[in-house]
Structure 1
Amino acid sequence: MREYYITKNDSGQRLNKFLEKAVPLLPGGMMHKYLRLKRIKVNGKRTEAAYRLCEGDNVQLYLNDEYFEAPREEEAFRRIQTPQLRIVYEDENILLADKAPGMVVHADEHGDANTLIAHIQAYLYQSGAWDPDDAASFAPALCNRIDRNTGGIVIAAKTAEALRILNDKIKDRELEKRYLCIVHGRPRPPEGLIENYLRRDEKRKQVTLHKTRVPGAKTARTRYRTLAAQGKLSLVECELLTGRTHQIRAHMASIGCPLLGDGKYGTNELNRPYGETGQALYAYKLTFRFEQDAGALSYLNGRTFTVRDVPFVQKYFPAFRL
C-alpha cells in the first residue's frame, strides 16, 4: 500500500487527474475498477473519480508495484547548477521570465534539456520555493510558450491553483499580450487590424493564411501600429487578439512587411544585409485584464509588466524609448 498526503499544490484537482500523474502506468479502466473495489481510497473511504482533493486528504492506494513508474533519470532541472533567468516579476504564485531568443521553452524533438522550464524549476528548487518530493503530482509549469527565436515574457505557475486559474484566463483571453517587432518596409496603413483565417501545416511547420474559412483554419486577428521608422526598417507594436502559431510573422508578411531575420515568412535577400538569422520579435508587455473572478490571483488584475531593454530595439532604434 502506498499513500499520499495532499499538499496545497496537489489540492483542488480531481482525484482521477491526480492519479494519472501519481500512478502513470495505471490504465483508466483499471483506475475506475479499483475505485469501485475500494482499492483506491481517500481518507479511508470509497471515493468517486470526480472528487476534488483537499489539502490534508490522505490518498491510499492498494495497488501492485507494477503500476508505479520506475525511478527515472535525474530530472533536467537537477543538472543545472546555475540557473540562467531574467526575472521580470515573482511572487508566491507566479514567476514572469524574460526568455532569451534562442532558448526553447520545453524540450523539443531534438531532446534539448537546456530549456526555460528546466531553469525555472532549478531556480525554484535551489531557492527552496519548490520541493519536488513535497508534491506527488505538481511541478512548476509554463502557462504560455513562445518560439525558440522569439524573446519575451513567459508565465510560470508556481502552484497548481495558479496554473489552473491562468490556463482558464488564457483560454478566455483575459490576458493582453503585446509584441515588438522590426519589419522590412513601411506598413500601410501605419496602424490597423489584420483579420483572416490561419491554417497550420504540421509537416512543413508553417502556416498559411486564407481570406475565407477553409478546413482546419482558425480565425486570426492582429492589431498593429508603427512606432518608428528608419532606413528600410520599421519598429511595430502588435497586439495578439488571437493566439495562433506564427500569427504575427505570417500577418506582417501578408501586408508586405515581413519580420527582420525571418527566413520562413520573409526572404534571405531582405535579411542578408543585416546578418540576422532569427526573427526580430519580442513579447515585451503583458497585462492581466480579468473579466471574471480570478480567485487567488485577483490581485494581479489590471497590472502590466514590461521588458524595456529589448536587444533589437537598442540595436536598430537606439533613440527610441518605450
Structure 2
Amino acid sequence: MNIPILFEDNHLLLVEKPINVPVQEDSSGDLDLLTALKDDLKLRYQKPGNVYLGLVHRLDRPVGGVMVFAKTSKAASRLSDMIRRHVIERKYLAVVHGTPNKKRAQLVHYLHKDHRKNKVSAVSPDHPNAKKAVLEYEVLASKKGFSLLSVNLHTGRPHQIRVQLSTIGHPIFGDQKYGEHLTKPGQQIALWAHSIHFEHPVGKEPIEVYSIPPVNDPWDLWELVTNREFAELSTSL
C-alpha cells in the first residue's frame, strides 16, 4: 500500500489516506490503514514487539486525504482532547451536484445513525438520539452543473459532510449512499480531506498539512485544484 507521509516526528504521523481503504480493521478483511502504518513503522525503525499508533479521528472508507495519527500515548490523549474541544481545524474539498443558493453558509443539522443500515439521516432536534452537526462551506467555483466547495468541519459526526450536503439538495458527486439517485455505478466519491491545522500537542508549534485530490473526473474540471498554489490558498479560506 502506497501511503504518502506528509509530516512525522517523535509524537505525530500525518499521512495521505488512499481512497477505498478502511481506516481500521473491519468485517471486509481488507488491509486497513492503521495496520499498514504500524507494519511500516515496525519495519522502518526495526521495532521489536507491538508498535503503538493512536487513532484519534476517522475518514469514511471511500474518502482520501489528510489524517493524523499519534505515535505516543501522550500525543493521543492531547489530540483526542483537542478534537473534543473542536480546536483542530479540518478542511475538505467536495464536488457537489448543482450550485448552492448561498456562496458561503453555515449548515446546522441534527443527525441520527441507523447502525443496522450504516446510514445517517437528518432528524428533528428533539429526536432522542440526535446529535448536532455543524459545518461551513464556501463555493469556490461552478462548472457544467457541478460546484467545487471548501468545507470547514466543526463537528465530526459519521458521514456528516455527505449527509448535510445531500440534505440541502446538493449531494456529493459519486456518493453511492447519499446521492444514489444521481450517481452512476462505479463512480468514486469526490470528497477529499484537504488540510488539517492544529497546535502540536507536545511542542506547541503550529502544524499545517494539506493534500491535493487526484487528477481525475470530476476534479479535473478545475485545473487549480491540482496545483500547489491552490492548496496553499484554499487552506486560508
Q: Same fold (TM over 0.5)?
A: yes
Question: Partner of 2:139 in structure 1?
Answer: 226
Q: Which has the larger radius of gyration?
A: 1
Q: Are 2:229 and 1:317 aligned?
A: no
**1:140-155 alignment to 2 at 5 Å?**
140-155=53-68
Question: Partner of 1:252 in structure 2?
Answer: 165
What amino acid is aligned across from residue 279 of structure 1 in structure 2?
I
Secondary structure at the aligned position of 2:83 is classed as: helix
Secondary structure at the aligned position of 2:39 is classed as: helix
Q: Are 2:204 and 1:298 aligned?
A: yes
C-alpha contact (below 8 Å) 1:191/1:224 kept by paired residues: yes
Q: Are 2:38 and 1:121 aligned?
A: yes
| TM-score, structure 1 normalization | 0.66
- Number of residue pairs matched by the alignment: 226
| TM-score, structure 2 normalization | 0.88
Q: Are 2:25 and 1:107 aligned?
A: yes
Question: Partner of 2:107 in structure 1?
Answer: 194
Higher relative contact order (CA 8 A, sep 6+): 2
Between the two proteins, what is the percent identity of the paired residues?
A: 29
Mapped to 2, the partners of 1:316 and 1:258 lie a distance apart of: 17
Question: Partner of 1:210 in structure 2?
Answer: 123
The equivalent position to 1:271 in structure 2, one of 183, 191, 198, is 183
Mapped to 2, the partners of 1:121 and 1:99 lie a distance apart of: 14
Mapped to 1, the partners of 2:80 and 2:47 lie a distance apart of: 20
Mapped to 2, the partners of 1:265 and 1:309 lie a distance apart of: 21
Question: Could you list the runs of 5+ residues in structure 1 that have no partner in the other structure?
Answer: 1-82
The equivalent position to 1:175 in structure 2, one of 88, 111, 123, is 88
CA RMSD of aligned residues (A): 2.0
Question: Partner of 1:281 in structure 2?
Answer: 191
Secondary structure at the aligned position of 1:238 is classed as: strand
Structure with greater helix percent:
1
C-alpha contact (below 8 Å) 1:180/1:284 kept by paired residues: yes
Q: What displacement does 1:264 show?
A: 1.2
Mapped to 2, the partners of 1:311 and 1:143 lie a distance apart of: 29
Distance 1:129 1:205, change over 3 A: same
Mapped to 1, the partners of 2:48 and 2:183 lie a distance apart of: 46
What amino acid is aligned across from residue 23 of structure 2 in structure 1?
V
Distance 1:129 1:228, change over 3 A: farther
Distance 1:230 1:180, change over 3 A: same
CA offsets 1:109-140 (integer angstroms, 9 cap, x no match): 2222x11111111111111164336xxxx621
What amino acid is aligned across from residue 255 of structure 1 in structure 2?
I
Question: Partner of 2:235 in structure 1?
Answer: none
The equivalent position to 2:4 in structure 1, one of 55, 77, 86, is 86
Q: What displacement does 1:309 show?
A: 4.4
Question: Could you list the runs of 5+ residues in structure 2 that have no partner in the other structure?
Answer: 232-237
CA offsets 1:277-308 (integer angstroms, 9 cap, x no match): 33211111001058xxx4x2422xx3311113
C-alpha contact (below 8 Å) 1:260/1:276 kept by paired residues: no
Distance 1:143 1:130, change over 3 A: farther
C-alpha contact (below 8 Å) 1:162/1:297 kept by paired residues: no
Secondary structure at the aligned position of 2:193 is classed as: strand
CA offsets 1:179-213 (integer angstroms, 9 cap, x no match): 10100000111210110211111011111112423
Distance 1:248 1:129, change over 3 A: farther
Secondary structure at the aligned position of 1:122 is classed as: helix
